[in-house]
Structure 1
């Protein structure tokens, strides 16, 4: 049987799947437009909502009365109601998730900015030292390595590391006090 505008409701009531395919083809654009307009802020659930609308039509076609209005208006009303239900169900959790994601992103940005500022300050403090001495200071104070680890990494005796750090501290104090 060919499903058309004249018999699709009758066939839907008989649970003819071709009638369901017909309304999806003919009224799917309207349903999708209503869902997109009302559920713009919960995009992840739009497709699920559209499917639920057609399920509601499939199981609730007996409630449709052509004397009360056009089928197009009836399916649009079902769609709008379904959107409201999805908003009630999913919007509060999405808003909380969005807020949490935003706060985490802001925290991450602040941490990165502080790291950059700290790196600039450290580089400014260590600018007056030789390259090798700067590396020793960074390994010890920033990376948290022990003198033994630095000694092993750089292939320098422990005593030389202590001496370089002592001389470097004195030089930094002198340079730092000059700037004040």
Structure 2
């Protein structure tokens, strides 16, 4: 079954075909989620995340864009995002530091809490690979703070405590880094 048929099965609630898709991708998604939740979550938490991926696809099948990648990669990306959300929930502490190596380039590009809210009109014709290149143009310290805040979901106070600086410095850094990113994006990567 090709990707178009798989998506059509979700759009049309074709249970037998949906079950085929679930059977095909569940082992892979289980591994993706388990790699993030292995120390914090139970097998039930992992299974719940995998189920949430398919529920998300069922609710929003039109969000998948075959021009950006395969269905397999898209489902893995959603699984990683759901697992990171679950990781935060299971930590029972709002200010959990998620190691940056757990955050993929694709997740940064999809982070609706930051990029869509702050750059949606600008990003309309902007490729996500270019977005990651622009992120690499800012200082590593600024990039870390942006990612920890807007992708990792950490509070400025927690980031400030970790870095040993005042919270106001982090807030100011976020403001200036967002403006710098907007300029870089609008200028096509040139300041």
> TM-score scaled to structure 1, two decimals?
0.46
More helix by share: 1
> TM-score scaled to structure 2, two decimals?
0.44
User: Considering only CA atoms, is the larger Rg found in Structure 1 or Structure 2?
Assistant: 1
